[in-house]
Amino acid sequence: MSQAILDWSLLAAQLMLGVGMLATLYRMVRGPRAQDRILALDALYVVGLLLLVTLGIRTGSQIYFELAMLIGLLGFVGTVALAKFLMRGEVIE
């Protein structure tokens, strides 16, 4: 009973996160300018991180936590580098 409640709500949460990922993908493909695409990429990696955390709750393993942590670290560096590129035209001066 309680396992069923958890499974169904995790499924609902994963579907909602999937809809969110589709929305950010739409903005990344359509986005009129470069900054819209970078913003959508930033939102996309946060949603992917949360999707991995819900997957970890579903399977009951801790491995997904490390993947989520890695996405968080690398996504931050990537977005900062892209914003710097928009500002200056090069990443490392």
Residues near another protein (CB under 8 A): 1-3, 5-6, 9-10, 12-14, 16-17, 19-21, 23-24, 26-27, 33, 35-36, 38-40, 42-43, 46-47, 49-50, 53-54, 56-57, 60, 62, 65, 68-69, 72-73, 76, 79-80, 83-84, 86-87
- The Cα-based distances of 87 to 29, 44, 69, 73 in angstroms read 21, 22, 28, 22
Q: Which helix (DSSP H) or strand (DSSP E) does residue 91 occupy?
A: none
Shortest Cβ distance from residue 69 to another protein (Å)? 6
Shortest Cβ distance from residue 51 to another protein (Å)? 9
Q: CB-based burial of residue 73 (10 Å sphere; 0-12 exposed, 13-18 middle, 19+ buried)?
A: exposed
Nearer to another protein, 33 or 93 (CB): 33
